Each structure stands twice: as C-alpha cells, then as structure tokens.
Amino acid sequence: MSHTSTPPRRHLRNRLMLAFAGFTLVVAALFGLYVAVFAYAVEDMFFNGLLDREAGEQIEQHARTGQWKAPRESWMQVIASPDQLPDGIAGTLAAEPRRTEFPGADGRHYHLKRLQPADAGKPAWLLAEVSQLLVVRPQRAALLQLLAWTGVAVISLALLLGWWLARRTTAPLSKLAQRVDQTDPQHMPDTFAADFPNDEVGLLAERLQALIARIRAFVSREREFTRDASHELRTPLTVIRSTTERLAREPGLSASTRQGLAHIQQSTLQLEQTVTMLLTLAREQALPADGQPLRVLPMLERVVIEQSPLLDGKDIHLDLDVPTQTTSTLPAAVLQVLLANLIGNAFAHTDAGQIRVTVEAQRLCISNPGTAISNDALRPFVKDEASSGFGLGLAIVRRLCDHHGIDLVIDNTGQLTTVSFALATEPAP
C-alpha cells in the first residue's frame, strides 16, 4: 500500500503556554483600554465641573443684572451667538446640538456649555479652550509606551508561569506517552502504572497496563493456536503429497490419471505455501525471498488455469500481455496468493468483456469491466453480494502488501477497475 507522511505532532505543553499567554494578553489589553478611558473620563469630568460652576455664576449674574460677566478663568469666554464660535464649531454644533467637546485647529481643544437665562431670554455659550490644561493628551505617548512595556513584561511573566505550570501539569502525561512510544510490541512491560501519581494520569496508566496484559494474553493464545494449526494443517497436506508422489511412481497408470495426480500435487504444494504464508502473517513474520527472481508468466498461467472454472458460461476474452522475461523478487507463496486472489476476483466479478493482465513499469496490472472495488472490500469478511466466498481474499491481499512492503493501487476511474501491485518490495522507510 502507498505510504503517507505523518504530520508533525503539536505538543500539549506549548498549547497550554500559548493559551495562558493569549488570555494574559487579552486581559492586559482590556485593562489598558479601561485605564485610557478612565483617564480621559476623569479629565473631562474636571473640565465639565469647572464649566458647571462658572455657568451657575453666570446665570445668577444675568438674573440680577441682565448681563453676562467676564469669566473668572482666562481660558473661558462667553459667546452671545453661535455664529461667533471659533474653528467651525458653529457648523458642528448645528449638526450635533448635544455635543459638548470640539477639536480645533493647531492643537486647540474646546469644551462648550449652553447658558440659558432664568427668564427664558436669549441663550449664550460658555466656551473653554483647554488645550493648555490637558493632562492626558501630552502624556498619551508616554502612557501608551508604559502600557506596552508593562504588557510585554506581564506577557513574559505569563509565558514563564505558563511554561512552569504546563511542564508541571503535563510532565506525567508526557512521561506516559514516552513510555508507550518506546514500548517494544514484542516485549511489552508488565508493570509501569506504579511510576505515576494517583490522579487521572495514574488511572490512565492503570488502564493501559490492564490493556497490555489483555493483549499479551491474546497474543499468547494466538501463537499457541497458530502453532497447533500449523501442525494440524501441515500433517494431512504432507500425507496427500507423499501419497500422490508414491502413486505417481506406480507403473501402468493412464495419461489422464498421471495428469490428475500432477494437478493434485501442484494444488497440494500451493496449499502448503498458502498455509505457510497465512501462519507467517499470524505470527507477524516476513516470508524470506527466494534465492533468485521468479518468472511471472508460468505462475500466472497456472493461476489462470486454476481459476478458469469461474469463467464457465461467461463471454469473456482474456488478454495476457506479460513478457516471458518478466520476473519478480517477491516470495513465491506471496506472489501466488496475490495472483490467485486478484485474478479470481476479476473472473468472479466480470460477466462479459475483456480482462487484461499487463506489466507496466515493473508493476502487474489487472483490468476488468466489473464492479468497482471499494475501500470496505479490503476489510475482513466484507464481500460483494455476488460473491460466494467469505470476504477474506482482498483482506489477505491488503495484509500481504502491508506486511511485505508491496505497493498496491486500486483505480476505479472510468468503466474499468484496475488493480496493480509492484513486483518488488519497497525499501523500508
């Protein structure tokens, strides 16, 4: 099967640190905004208080004398008409009658309050030019710089504290993950849960330890079964093979009888190879490669003859376009099982048309116009409705390819289903 690259892992410790630093940054920015708003609000309240006090005195003066007096503060003045307001304040006031604060040219800044006489006479305007009295605006750059450096310091402290907390929190989990990652499947540890604290990580370690114990017991039972199955399956096959060999040496046998015995011997040999291959898969071992490359065409022709009963009654044309010099470095048992399952699958799922077997770029390709092969068909006991088997053939093919590093590709594009596999194993990554 084709290999896929593993994406880099994201460490939980780094994610905790970033979350802690991000939360600190949001809180620092929020409180910095609150400080700026508070400073501007206090400054405005100060000026508005002075204007309110001056406005009260002006209204009292107007009630007694009918005249507006000169304000006590030199930066205040009484404007009788809005048209006399400087820096275009009149236009802004007409558009926003409730506005009390106005920017001016050359850095000037104004606060405005309406003076309404008690006798409902013509109103006036108390205008204060406060640019020389502003406290926040001249200090704004320094204040922002202070807030920025304070934020950097707080975030640095948060990162340091977050690293310490994340390291302290994730250390047992990282230790457990490292222990699991370094565990050899052939030599799984008996006890390791006692090395972890009595918390959630310790509970996880206990459950993993119990799971490993169950897996070890399962593997032990499977090995015992494969050992017994190997003996029980090999013994009758050996008897059949030796009996056919003895019968083949008998004189006076007809040609058809000898041909039948030869077929029995060939089938027995293939069964022995299949049993060896299946037991090797169960034991998670790799079959050794043959001493020299195998010729593919003779084995392919034998498999076609064996699977030919699946073509009875079908209008199918078989095209074997495999050069005689084509060889494979796969073990003979592996190649025979791959060919038998894939050729048999193509024969069984094609009702009519052409089945082509070709070699392209050192890959054997089997194309047929039958039913497309889904990914589920590569799982054990999953079979097509038209199949009469147990749904193990393609699952065995997948396991063989995974186990021996054989690149298997299934292409369902168009009207054809094409299955191809490499005639040589891929080097281990």
Q: Work out whether strand 315-321 and strand 294-295 pair parallel, antiparallel, or are unpaired.
A: unpaired
pLDDT higher than 80, residue 114: yes
pLDDT higher than 90, residue 297: yes
pLDDT for the residue 280 = 65
Q: Which residue has the higher pLDDT, 142 or 51?
A: 51
Q: Do the domain assignments include residue 11? A: no
Q: Is 162 exposed, middle or buried (0-12, 13-18, 19+ CB in 10 A)?
A: buried
pLDDT for the residue 359 = 93
User: Is there a single domain that holds both residue 311 and residue 359?
Assistant: yes
Tally of domains within the chain: 3
pLDDT for the residue 386 = 46
Q: Do the domain assignments include residue 61? A: yes
Domain termination residue (choose one: 113, 141, 169): 141
Q: Do the domain assignments include residue 169? A: no
**In which residue are the tokens 């100060």 written?**
46
Q: Which domain holds residue 269?
A: 200-282
Q: Which residue has the higher pLDDT, 377 or 20?
A: 20
User: Is there a single domain that holds both residue 299 and residue 277?
Assistant: no
User: Is there a single domain that holds both residue 375 and residue 269?
Assistant: no
pLDDT for the residue 288 = 58
pLDDT higher than 90, residue 278: no
Longest CA–CA span in the chain (Å) reads 153
pLDDT for the residue 186 = 63
Q: What is the pLDDT of residues 131-187, one digit of tens each?
A: 888 888 778 788 888 888 888 888 888 888 878 877 777 777 777 777 777 776 666
Q: Do the domain assignments include residue 273? A: yes
The helix-helix angle for 255-282 and 332-348 (nearest 10°) equals 110
Spatial separation of the C-alpha atoms in residues 243 and 23, rounded to whole Å: 81
Q: Do the domain assignments include residue 7? A: no
pLDDT for the residue 277 = 63
Q: What is the pLDDT of residues 183-214, one digit of tens each?
A: 766 666 667 777 777 777 778 788 887 887 88
User: Is there a single domain that holds both residue 258 and residue 304?
Assistant: no
Q: Which of 21-35, 112-126, 188-202, 315-329 has the lowest mean pLDDT?
A: 188-202
Supply the CATH number for residue 245's domain: 1.20.58
User: Is there a single domain that holds both residue 95 and residue 215?
Assistant: no
Q: What is the pLDDT of residues 315-356, one digit of tens each?
A: 889 999 999 999 998 888 888 888 988 988 888 888 889 999
Closest by alpha carbon to 49, among 156, 130, 155? Answer: 130
pLDDT higher than 60, residue 231: yes
Beta bridge partners of 355: 318
CB atoms within 10 A of CB 335: 24
pLDDT for the residue 391 = 38
Closest by alpha carbon to 51, among 90, 87, 89, 77? Answer: 77
Q: What is the mean pLDDT of residues 13-18?
A: 76
Spatial separation of the C-alpha atoms in residues 233 and 231, rounded to whole Å: 6
Q: Do the domain assignments include residue 188? A: no
3-state SS track over the chain: CCCCCCCCCCCHHHHHHHHHHHHHHHHHHHHHHHHHHHHHHHHHHHHHHHHHHHHHHHHHHHHHHCCCCCCCCCCEEEECCHHHCCCCHHHHHHHCCCCCEEECHHHCEEEEEEECCCCCCCCEEEEEECCCCCCCCCCHHHHHHHHHHHHHHHHHHHHHHHHHHHHHHHHHHHHHHHHHHCCECCECCCCCHHHCCCCHHHHHHHHHHHHHHHHHHHHHHHHHHHHHHHHHHHHHHHHHHHHHHHHHCCCCCCHHHHHHHHHHHHHHHHHHHHHHHHHHHHCCCCCCCCCCCEEHHHHHHHHHHHHHHHHCCCEEEEEEECCCCCEECCCHHHHHHHHHHHHHHHHHCCCEEEEEEEEECCEEEEEECCCCCCHHHHCCCCCCCCCCCCCCHHHHHHHHHHHHCCCEEEECCCCCEEEEEECCCCCCC
Supply the CATH number for residue 365's domain: 3.30.565.10
Whether 89 contacts 102, CB under 8 Å: yes
Q: Which residue has the higher pLDDT, 283 or 350?
A: 350
Whether 389 contacts 352, CB under 8 Å: no
Global pTM value: 0.45
Supply the CATH number for residue 96's domain: 3.30.450
User: Is there a single domain that holds both residue 304 and residue 396?
Assistant: yes
Closest by alpha carbon to 71, among 60, 57, 81? Answer: 57
User: Is there a single domain that holds both residue 310 and residue 259?
Assistant: no
Domain termination residue (choose one: 104, 123, 141): 141
Closest by alpha carbon to 372, among 337, 402, 406, 414? Answer: 414
Domain termination residue (choose one: 282, 303, 331): 282
pLDDT for the residue 387 = 45
User: Is there a single domain that holds both residue 33 and residue 134?
Assistant: yes
